């Protein structure tokens, strides 16, 4: 049991069970179903150039951070690396929703170019994220991507971010040390698979053993990430510590940005009960235009996270159109309008104020 688990149990035991259940809004769900039929085709002509350009910009920035002699330019180049690689890495979310055969070779290319070099191969998200979208699991103890953060103590938010900052060290140990040791120690292998093989935030989540074709996919991705981890460690002895430290700094900054995005992707107000689809939508967040910064910290359609919970099959490049249609087709009284927010700052403030009431 981790430090969070007893606290989560108390939150769910103490939360107000008498609050009214939010009914589903038939009009909103009907419009969403119509849009899902109309906009669910992934366009390779958008996916491939976007992903490859993002990765190229990210790696060019990383090279600049390593090679430029001027500290200011090196830092600026490092920021370019963070934004480029973060956008490229965010396509892992699309991999979990892309229909089989829709983008041939995309999963392999993503893992080869981004997943393995960042030690976040797609097996760590595939068959995990879909559980977050399961209608009866969202917001419950069985949801791997949910914590009742708004109902927890104030110190839980800084801890949530600190864990993300240390994630590069964690994945380096997971693939460079624990994975190879697990190959010869079955009990350790089980521990690594259950506890350290999912990009989840729920500390009580336990990963089941992979089966069939996915088991083979898991094996080659894990082997590749292990080889990269060994190479990264070896580079410190061959070329000095700078390449490793720059890599870790870029990786850590990326992960913190993503954790902040995760923090404001939901309101985190559910106490563990199953929720209606409308309630799930209202517990989730859209940050639509005209704000520009959300395109950087919530790229690849992640700024429409609440809409994505209504339309999980719609590819990222169609979510903007879907949002415009939803806004036009539903009147101001619709719950859809209540899922839209102006930016990260007000959302962090809202969740922080909620935790302050839990002292």
Give yes or no for residue 4 having a pLDDT over 80: no
Tokens representing 215 are: 């088991």
- When pLDDT is averaged across residues 178-189 and rounded to a whole number, the result is 96
pLDDT, tens only, 218-277: 999 999 999 999 999 999 999 999 999 999 999 999 999 999 999 999 999 998 888 999
pTM assigned to the model: 0.92
* pLDDT of the residue at 20: 65
- When pLDDT is averaged across residues 91-115 and rounded to a whole number, the result is 94
The answer to whether the peptide bond before residue 199 is cis (omega within 30 degrees of 0) is: no
Number of domains in the chain: 1
* pLDDT of the residue at 19: 56
Give yes or no for residue 8 having a pLDDT over 80: no
Residue 186 Cα distances to 180, 217, 219, angstroms: 11, 20, 15
The SS3 call for residue 278 is helix
Structural domain for 333, as ranges? 4-356
**Alpha helix segments (H runs only) across 22-43:** 26-38
Give 212's contacts (C-beta < 8 A, 6+ positions apart).
none
- Is 84:251 a contact under the CB 8 Å cutoff? no
The answer to whether the peptide bond before residue 314 is cis (omega within 30 degrees of 0) is: no
Rounded-to-integer distance, Cα 193 and Cα 120, Å: 14
Please name the residue that has the structure tokens 């580079």: 235
* pLDDT of the residue at 292: 87
């Amino acid at each position: 049991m981790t430090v969070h688990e007893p606290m989560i149990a108390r939150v769910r035991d103490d939360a107000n069970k008498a609050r009214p259940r939010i009914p589903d809004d038939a009009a909103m769900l009907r419009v969403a179903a119509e849009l899902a039929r109309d906009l669910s085709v992934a366009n390779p002509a958008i996916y491939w150039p976007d992903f490859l350009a993002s990765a190229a910009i990210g790696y060019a920035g990383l090279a600049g951070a390593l090679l430029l002699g001027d500290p200011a330019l090196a830092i600026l180049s490092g920021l370019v690396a963070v934004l480029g690689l973060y956008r490229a890495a965010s396509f892992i979310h699309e991999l979990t929703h892309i229909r089989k055969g829709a983008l041939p070779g995309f999963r392999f290319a993503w893992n080869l170019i981004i997943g393995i070099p960042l030690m976040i191969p797609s097996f760590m998200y595939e068959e995990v994220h879909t559980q977050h979208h399961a209608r009866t699991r969202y917001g419950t103890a069985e949801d791997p991507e949910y914590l009742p953060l708004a109902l927890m103590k104030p110190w839980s938010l800084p801890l949530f971010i600190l864990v993300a900052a240390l994630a590069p060290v964690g994945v380096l140990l997971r693939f460079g040390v624990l994975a190879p040791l697990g190959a010869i120690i079955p009990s350790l292998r089980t521990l690594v698979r259950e506890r350290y093989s999912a990009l989840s935030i729920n500390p009580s989540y336990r990963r089941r053993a992979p089966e069939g074709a996915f088991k083979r996919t898991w094996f080659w991705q894990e082997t590749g990430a292990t080889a990269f981890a060994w190479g990264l460690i070896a580079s410190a002895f061959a070329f000095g510590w700078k390449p490793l430290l720059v890599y870790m700094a870029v990786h850590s900054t990326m992960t913190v940005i993503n954790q902040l995005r995760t923090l404001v992707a939901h309101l985190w107000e559910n106490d563990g009960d199953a929720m209606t689809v409308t309630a799930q939508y209202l517990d989730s967040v859209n940050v639509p235009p005209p704000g520009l910064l959300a395109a950087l910290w919530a790229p690849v359609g992640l700024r429409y996270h609440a809409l994505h919970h209504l339309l999980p099959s719609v590819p990222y490049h169609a979510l903007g159109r879907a949002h415009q249609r939803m806004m036009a087709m539903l009147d101001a009284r619709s719950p859809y309008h209540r899922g839209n927010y102006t930016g990260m700052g007000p959302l962090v403030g809202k969740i922080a104020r909620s935790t302050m009431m839990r002292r």
